[in-house]
Chains A and B, each alone.
Chain A
Amino acid sequence: MTMPPDLEFLPPSALARWWGHGVLALGVTACAAVGLHYAQEVAAREAALAQLQPAVKAAPQTSVPRALQAEVEAAQAISAALSVPWEAWFKQLESVVVPGVVLTALQPEPGSRRARITGQASDLALALAYVEQLEQSPGFWHVLLLDHALQEGAVPPHVRFTLSAEWEATP
């Protein structure tokens, strides 16, 4: 693309010469001012957020006294024990009947659905039969015979046994 000749006897004025530079400088200054103001606003916002959330950040660093921690754990255990439907568990336990077998003690284990059951049987075979029947009863699982002992001095002689059973919550 060709251009016509530009014969011009009037030199460009100083105002025209510096006009473009002046506008450029003004624009750069305005951008810098806006950027500085933005940075200040961001810093102020972060400072305000830091003032609003000190407790949340400090909470994990506070130490709990041991006595209080023990009380908390006990309360949590009680809460867990209370959450087990013991009434239904007892009724289900009573429904399992083996002649010659009597239960003498029942002790729930804290923090779990497991209970320790103590009883007497005429002989070991009846005790094992009770364990098997309890295992097959709905709601019980992991029924284990923990120990047994023959009471030879007792009249009539019998076997003391201890077992543990876990209550399986039914939907």
Chain B
Amino acid sequence: MLPLPWRDQAAVWLAPSQVGLALRRRGWRTQAAQHRDATLEGGASAPAAALQALAALAAQATADGQATRAHTRIVLSNRFVPSALMPGATALRGAAERQLAAREVLRATHGDGVDNWALALDTRGGANPLAAGLEANWLATLRTTAQQAGLQAVSIRPLLAVAAAQAWPHIEGRSVWLLVTEADGAVLARIDTRGTWQSLRSLVLGTPTDADALSASIAVWLARCCLLDGLEPADLPLVYAPWQWASKDAGQSQADFAATVTNAGWQLQTVALSPDALWTSP
């Protein structure tokens, strides 16, 4: 049978404790994606270990005769991609000034190491656009690793951007909280009716003992963030985007978390966020 003229698709997920590769063949009949994942130890060597794990997963896929040169969307854990808001960005003139301002904003939190970072700036945002940074050598190694593994990267984005794009129909025109959770942490943002990001906070999760403990720790952190913004939980709805990479008990843990925060007074709205969303995302 002749190969079809369009490319297969792939999604890569890189996090300190988990690396995943999903491949989907394209053709006359849409096929379910085939997931591969590996669990990592985390820790300080997590970025390098994640790249090694990705190379191993891609090598397995190639050995199994699965797609090569697939169009690949790479999603990075928010733990790998420090982000910040740039207040007053509307006064900046041109891309050079925005790059400089973003680097200084990130430097205030992460030190002079940001001089070696590659930056990604939100050009669509309003008064407080997002800025994100990534160690430039690690990004170059990631691209090389993907290329050597036969994956043609078409997108490298942090999970926060993927989640915001997926949840935006539920956010647009409303003042909401956006909560993005993953295995290693969580990010909470407050967005107003004009789509302007008002605050951005992140939570690093250690090794959770169980789902109840995880839900409780996130709920406590949510209450603290709410107080820092001078709001009550009931003031704004909470759009909840939990990232799940082929987790078999995801449904139960999400239900537990929903019950916990609802009891705390939050108006919860859950948005499904999985690798399958990447196939249809812009």
For residues 1 through 42 of chain A, which have their beta carbon under 8 Å from a beta carbon of chain B?
1-10
| Dominant secondary structure of chain A at its interface with chain B | loop
Surface stretch bound by A, among B55-63, B151-159, B210-218: B151-159
Could you tell me the distance between the alpha carbons of A10 and B157 in the complex, rounded to whole angstroms?
8
Beta-carbon contact of A8 and B124 below 8 Å: no
Q: A4-B161, A4-B164 are in contact. Are A9 and B134 (CB under 8 A)?
A: yes
**CB-CB < 8 A to B123: which residues of A?**
6
For residues 114 through 131 of chain B, which have their beta carbon under 8 Å from a beta carbon of chain A?
118, 120-126, 129-130
- Chain A CB within 8 A of B279 CB: no
Beta-carbon contact of A9 and B156 below 8 Å: yes
Beta-carbon contact of B172 and A10 below 8 Å: no
Residue of A nearest to B167 (CB): A4
- Chain A CB within 8 A of B10 CB: no
Beta-carbon contact of B156 and A3 below 8 Å: no
**CB-CB < 8 A to A2: which residues of B?**
124, 126, 168, 172-173, 194-195
Could you tell me the distance between the alpha carbons of A8 and B156 in the complex, rounded to whole angstroms?
6
| Dominant secondary structure of chain B at its interface with chain A | mixed
Beta-carbon contact of A9 and B120 below 8 Å: yes
Contact-residue size bin, chain B (C-beta under 8 Å from the other chain): 35 or more
Shortest Cβ distance from residue B170 to the other chain A in the assembled complex, whole angstroms: 11
Beta-carbon contact of B161 and A6 below 8 Å: yes
Q: How many residues of chain A get a CB closer than 8 Å to chain B's CBs?
A: 10
Beta-carbon contact of A7 and B130 below 8 Å: yes
Pick the contact of A7 from B126, B161, B172 — CB < 8 Å? B161
Residue of B nearest to A9 (CB): B156
Could you tell me the distance between the alpha carbons of A6 and B164 in the complex, rounded to whole angstroms?
9
Could you tell me the distance between the alpha carbons of A75 and B122 in the complex, rounded to whole angstroms?
99
Beta-carbon contact of B153 and A7 below 8 Å: no
Could you tell me the distance between the alpha carbons of A8 and B73 in the complex, rounded to whole angstroms?
11
Could you tell me the distance between the alpha carbons of A102 and B125 in the complex, rounded to whole angstroms?
123
Could you tell me the distance between the alpha carbons of A10 and B134 in the complex, rounded to whole angstroms?
11
**CB-CB < 8 A to A10: which residues of B?**
74, 143, 153-156
Could you tell me the distance between the alpha carbons of A55 and B38 in the complex, rounded to whole angstroms?
92
For residues 88 through 129 of chain A, which have their beta carbon under 8 Å from a beta carbon of chain B?
none
**CB-CB < 8 A to A8: which residues of B?**
120, 155-157, 161
Beta-carbon contact of B194 and A4 below 8 Å: no
8 A-B residue pairs with CB within 8 Å: A2-B124, A4-B164, A5-B122, A7-B132, A7-B161, A8-B156, A9-B134, A9-B157
Question: Apart from A3-B124, A10-B154, what are 14 other A-B pairs with CB-CB below 8 Å?
Answer: A2-B126, A2-B172, A2-B194, A4-B124, A5-B125, A5-B161, A5-B164, A7-B132, A8-B155, A8-B157, A8-B161, A9-B120, A10-B143, A10-B156
Give the 8 A-B residue pairs with the shortest CB-CB distance, closest first: A2-B195, A5-B122, A7-B161, A3-B124, A4-B168, A9-B156, A4-B165, A7-B120
